[in-house]
Amino acid sequence: MDLPHLNELETLRALIAESPIPIGLYVGPEMHIAVVNKAILQTWDRDESVIGKTFHDALPELNSQPFEKLLEQVYSTGVAYHASEDRVDLVVGGKLQIFYFNFTYQPLKYKNGKVWGILNTATDVTAQVMARQKLVEAEERLRLALDSADLGTWSINAHTKKTFPSARTKELFGFESDEEMSFEASINAVAEDYRDKVIATIDRAFTEGGSYDTEYPIINVRNGKQRWVRSTGKVYYDADNKPNNFSGVIMDITDRKEEEIRKNDFIAMVSHELKTPLTSIKSYIQISLIKVKKQGDEFLENALSKADKQIVKMTKMIRGFLDLAKLESGKISIQPEQFDIELLVKETVNDIQFISDSHFFEVTGCGPLMVNADRYKIGQVIENFLSNAMKYSPKETIIEVKCNVADNHAVVSVVDKGIGVKQKDQEKLFNRFYRVDNDIIKNVAGFGIGLYIAGEIIQLHNGRIWVESEEFEGAIFSFSLPLAQA
Ligand code: ADP
């Protein structure tokens, strides 16, 4: 075997031994292992007895793998081989295991260019490769789940608004999978009546964070057909806590939405039809009341005024359903005017006391507070808070109505001493048809639409609505509205 100058080999041996990187030096065409360091012995799970053996004999499990051939090739051509994340199956701990290495077979040459050995350096990248494989598998599973649920995905860069829709998302909007779909194009595809609302919801997600969940119709740019979609997403932040990207999923909900619209139309029609006979019953009762008062029949007068109160209750229920239908079809609008909210609070308390005298009302802290809002609809919100306070607290307890100013907003709160609301239910109270699931609530009449309508009304005024409560400790329902500019 031809060997280089002995001094040269000794220098190499010292360098290799010190290196924390696994290194081996093989000499001659048979690849005799001349030098190895601790790191490579550890990688191979062998001891120093491999020194002097051929690569073939020292690592028999590699015989059926491509490495001997590669070494031969480097030896004969003098051209180095660089492997990137190559799989190497090694017997470690007594069993054959899979590893991944970045490694180099570097030819070592005499001055005349003839190769005399190969320097093998290696880095174990098994952990990275495995982690990436797991990620790829997870992505694959996610893609399968998305495909089988017919979900599209999207992502919007917070800075550039560049949009990255999946093929399914593009298909929903009417774009081919290889066609570009910009942020503007996706907004323009939203049905006109809903466009401003969608833009405002996206802006809110960017400025306020949290999650985003909205439903709207889109007009397919290719065939002009309308489909309803539900889009849910979340804003992700960078290390400086600035919005980085906004991404989520989108799904076709046309069938469900059309069913809902039919149901809504039906509720609206029934409620509307009920209003007319109810109005005439009310006027008959009122005329009869006037007559009976003159005749002095106390029993009849009492019965008729009770009937009158029941009619007021029923009219309110029907109004609730009509409002719900209007909200669902996006037809509710605000007619703002300047008014004093204190006066409205007092009027509403008086109205409610007319229907029932079961509780004591206390209005505190209100001075004249001017707001610019829809007086009638804000009255509805206060009324809903008051009637809930009555429904969900024991008779003859006090219901307090407070007004405050905070951060340039008027805040109205209704405080009761009733059954309260558990923390976990509090967010959901403002959802459509949500009623807390317990025996007390089951025995109280209601449809779970009052707070939903209240929430939507307050949102249309750019206000806030919330509840503070503990179970069995009473509840404070509040809303805030921007104060009118002086
Ligand atoms: P409804 O009272 O007709 O069920 P709402 O939408 O007004 O509908 O209220 C939704 C639910 O919120 C109620 O069913 C009840 O569970 C809960 N809730 C509302 N107000 C109160 C209150 N003051 N105290 C305790 N629970 C309340």
**Integer Cα distance of 353 and 109 in angstroms:** 104
Residue 107: pLDDT band (50, 70, 90) is: very high
Question: How far is ligand 1, taken at its centre, from the CA of residue 377, in Å?
Answer: 18
Shared domain for 179 and 225, answered yes or no, is: yes
- The residue among 288, 312, 329 that closes a domain is 329
Tokens 């709207």 belong to residue: 216
- The closest residue, in CA terms, to atom 18 on ligand 1 is 388
Under DSSP, the state recorded for 190 is: B
Candidate from 316, 429, 473 with most ligand 1 atoms within 8 A of CB, to mutate: 429
- The residue among 90, 125, 160 that closes a domain is 125
Name the residue range of residue 311's domain: 257-329
Q: How many domains does the chain have?
A: 4
**Dihedral sign of CA atoms 334, 338, 339, 340 in order:** positive
Query: For residue 136, is it within any domain?
Result: no
- The closest residue, in CA terms, to atom 25 on ligand 1 is 420
State pLDDT tens for residues 328-339. 877 788 999 999
Q: Over 90: is that where the pLDDT of 255 sits?
A: yes
Shared domain for 308 and 363, answered yes or no, is: no
From start to end of 56-113, where are the E strands? 81-92, 95-109
Q: Over 80: is that where the pLDDT of 294 sits?
A: yes
Shared domain for 82 and 12, answered yes or no, is: yes
Question: How far is ligand 1, taken at its centre, from the CA of residue 425, in Å?
Answer: 10
Question: How far is ligand 1, taken at its centre, from the CA of residue 35, in Å?
Answer: 81
Question: How far is ligand 1, taken at its centre, from the CA of residue 463, in Å?
Answer: 20
Candidate from 435, 438, 444, 447 with most ligand 1 atoms within 8 A of CB, to mutate: 435
Q: Over 60: is that where the pLDDT of 3 sits?
A: no
Q: 15 forms bridges with which residues in the sheet?
A: none
State pLDDT tens for residues 28-74. 999 999 999 999 999 999 999 999 999 999 999 999 999 999 999 99
- Tokens, residue 287: 């005329």
Q: Over 90: is that where the pLDDT of 356 sits?
A: no
Query: For residue 140, is it within any domain?
Result: no
Query: For residue 265, is it within any domain?
Result: yes
Tokens 């909900």 belong to residue: 253
Where b means 16+ CB within 10 Å and e means fewer, 372-397 reads ebbbebbbbbbbbbbbbbbbbbeeee
Query: For residue 386, is it within any domain?
Result: yes
Question: How far is ligand 1, taken at its centre, from the CA of residue 440, in Å?
Answer: 11
Q: Which of 446, 415, 130, 203 is nearest to 313 (CA)?
A: 446
- The closest residue, in CA terms, to atom 13 on ligand 1 is 435
Shared domain for 321 and 348, answered yes or no, is: no
Candidate from 380, 392, 393 with most ligand 1 atoms within 8 A of CB, to mutate: 392
C-beta separation of 451 from 428 below 8 A: no
Q: Which pLDDT does position 5 carry in this prediction?
A: 59
Q: What is the mean pLDDT of residues 224-236?
A: 95
End-to-end CA distance of the chain: 101
Q: Which pLDDT does position 486 carry in this prediction?
A: 74
Q: Which pLDDT does position 366 carry in this prediction?
A: 75
Torsion of CA 135, 141, 142, 143, to 10 degrees: 110
Q: Which pLDDT does position 25 carry in this prediction?
A: 95
Pocket of ligand 1 (CB under 6 A): 384, 388-389, 391-392, 416, 418-421, 429, 434-436, 441, 446-452, 475
Average pLDDT, the chain: 92
Q: What is the mean pLDDT of residues 381-388?
A: 96
Q: Which pLDDT does position 4 carry in this prediction?
A: 57
- The closest residue, in CA terms, to atom 8 on ligand 1 is 448
Shared domain for 279 and 413, answered yes or no, is: no
**Integer Cα distance of 218 and 220 in angstroms:** 6
Query: For residue 360, is it within any domain?
Result: yes
- The residue among 252, 274, 292 that closes a domain is 252
Q: Over 50: is that where the pLDDT of 1 sits?
A: no
Other CB atoms closer than 10 Å to residue 354's CB: what's the count?
A: 12
Q: Which pLDDT does position 250 carry in this prediction?
A: 96
Residue 277, judged by CB atoms within 10 A of its CB (0-12, 13-18, 19+), counts as exposed
Shared domain for 175 and 279, answered yes or no, is: no
pTM above 0.75, yes or no: no
Comparing 410 with 242, the larger pLDDT belongs to: 410
- Tokens, residue 307: 């009937």
Q: What is the position in ligand 1's atom list of the atom closest to the CA of 477?
A: 23
Q: What is the mean pLDDT of residues 274-278?
A: 92
What three-state secondary structure class fits 36? strand
Shared domain for 403 and 464, answered yes or no, is: yes
**Integer Cα distance of 275 and 314 in angstroms:** 9
Shared domain for 99 and 119, answered yes or no, is: yes
CATH number, domain of 349, equals: 3.30.565.10
Shared domain for 435 and 452, answered yes or no, is: yes
Query: For residue 403, is it within any domain?
Result: yes
Comparing 169 with 485, the larger pLDDT belongs to: 169
Residue 221: pLDDT band (50, 70, 90) is: very high
Q: What is the mean pLDDT of residues 155-159?
A: 91
Shared domain for 65 and 25, answered yes or no, is: yes
Shared domain for 243 and 267, answered yes or no, is: no
From start to end of 110-188, where are the E strands? 115-124, 152-157
Q: What is the position in ligand 1's atom list of the atom closest to the CA of 449?
A: 6
- The closest residue, in CA terms, to atom 2 on ligand 1 is 446
Q: Over 50: is that where the pLDDT of 349 sits?
A: yes
Tokens 């969940």 belong to residue: 213
CATH number, domain of 51, equals: 3.30.450.20
Q: Over 80: is that where the pLDDT of 443 sits?
A: yes
Query: For residue 453, is it within any domain?
Result: yes
Question: How far is ligand 1, taken at its centre, from the CA of residue 312, in Å?
Answer: 20
Shared domain for 318 and 344, answered yes or no, is: no
Alpha helix ranges (H) inside 329-467: 341-355, 375-391, 423-426, 439-442, 450-460
Q: Which of 94, 75, 93 is nearest to 28 (CA)?
A: 75
- The closest residue, in CA terms, to atom 3 on ligand 1 is 446
Q: Which pLDDT does position 61 carry in this prediction?
A: 96
Query: For residue 139, is it within any domain?
Result: no
Question: How far is ligand 1, taken at its centre, from the CA of residue 429, in Å?
Answer: 7
